[in-house]
A and B are shown apart, each in its own frame.
Chain A
């Protein structure tokens, strides 16, 4: 005899979420402390991005919160530790968890980083840089092929913010990224704050980087705040800290990109010193205003090939 308790509905009936168009929307990082405020306001005209790893537990409040958000909003699933840029094979268990999340939440966008975070068995919890060579290009492409194969859809790959370079690099970051996109068919997540941070740190012009970037493959944009330190020679060294409002210079670059490309789903990231919901929402509204003005810019059809 078995007196089994009533099974949870979610265990027997897979949740199905409505398809939610994300085109031209602005969004914010989803933080659990904002959930009551978001639900109290009802459906927002924005999307939410979550870090995939925070939802890789079996159950509990994180999944309930994401289900509540996903019911009414498009969601972008942003992986932060697939270690695509590392020399070692991808962690198969992690890839399976990632694939399961994509299947479960049917996100509008799925992205990962051009970086690595695991070496041997140690997980460093940071987006670490890689040299740009033919060898690393081949490995990154293999890894992206493997991810796209697993999730059955294109991935958006995010350009990194970096603080140093590798002596062995033989190509520019934009050449590397363009080659990755064309070989794997992946889309790109253009993080404009990362461009600004790296440009300052490496002494190149952000506008030139953007001019050289394969904008036609960009399916999402990230904006975020950064902090300033100093390098060994006392020059500014910008830190991709995600702990404050978007800098004016980054807004300007964003306007240039939108003016050129038309509206692209744009996310304001804010991951520490997290403000109250109205402040974060206002930051997304500022992005949306620029996206709105971009409606009349370049025809979207031209540049959505990879989205």
Chain B
């Protein structure tokens, strides 16, 4: 029996050996790792948000600043098995359904251990209640954080942009290495483009915490946050408000108009740009429909986002001035004319016929030859006229032959290409020189390229998308349609404004911009915007000729003559161009581009209204209204103007 007791004792001895071995491993061999883990456990880094820089208009008037908001965050880990009860209690306090709070907690963008904001702008009463009853709210924290405030409401919303939680893609970007899930970042506009200036550096405080995340006091020195720099824009709040107001009023007026067989104009959207041609400074940039940027100070669900900003609402977040790409229609003609003059395809001394139709040259000996007939915007024969008058009256049938001449003179076909003849497409190059077909490099995010089509592009896009682009070959018709800004040509309103700036400026073309200067919180100037201008390689005399010709648009028999009836041209010089772009199957898109000067200032004004009918009908009166406002003239009323191109 004694032996068996010893057997049992031996078994127990094995137990001791096992435990001691494991203890030796944990406490001696792996101790360093566990010491680190214990330390990490008990120390929490709290990021103190840096006040974001203020965005001011050119006169120093704040467009965006900050206010303090009380935010409630929840740490999922600390909730434990009390999740349901805590969410229920919070939902009672905040008057938000518990499921909704729960769905915010499920946000996959956060780490398990990071606190998730579930409510913003919480009333003080609720904040105090939670602080007093902290023991009933494990993992729930009440914080004061600065949030964006918009003193002028939605004015300049598209330029200013808004903030949102940093996306997963951005987090992978090494440029955003110092960002963490849940951090706010500029998502669009100036907020996005000047993120680095505005953001500042967040402060860090180390706290000792217990397992419930309860703060037990600070460890060491606090690293205070560094406030972001302020940004002063070239945007003038008054001009911006005027531009937005004019665009909206003009669009609303357009919706009362009936044009042709398609009934009331839809005038669903639009954009307007006002810039200083001398510097490229953007004074106003409007996009319709607009949005209220303060919506983004709280987190909104995907559903709400879709409801507010989806297709059904006309995608109001889109800044159509830089993101909308449209056929320019006849607003393109001044640049085509300048190119044609430069290439000696037309001359200033000549008179050209302006019939109701023009037929592209064809092989007259072949009875089966296809005849391509191109219509003018009016069926009437307007007689013979100079290029200047052709611009003022927007005669398509004078421009079509120019396009054909480009084909005739310069186009290098495949056979010639095979023999190493270098293709140079002078019309495309000249248009490119005015900035078409590539980004203006404006200091705003998500700018689009526009499109100046050429043979190579046409072939490439056909190979890529044979369904949408069934034709891969370059034809004379491509040049012909390009002369009137149709076919595959696309521009953004800002590109057009920049190009008209060059026209007003004798060929000096400046990169458009909204930044004036960046100012540190102590008011020292960190940097000023450096103008970036170059020359368009077209003779000044041709540019002047075209510019002067465009004064004819707004007077007498010009296409916008009626729209500018009674305008005080003695006080303010105005030249411009209407455009009526066809976008099958929609109603015509209405364009007007104006150059103005007076009282020592110069402004380019470009207006586009989607499905706004003729250029003279909708866009020109809006442009006029903006010009009247800028120069302090008496406002005219929006009246019904008969459509001309």
* A and B held together in a complex: no
By a beta-carbon cutoff of 8 Å, the part of chain B in contact with chain A is none
By a beta-carbon cutoff of 8 Å, the part of chain A in contact with chain B is none
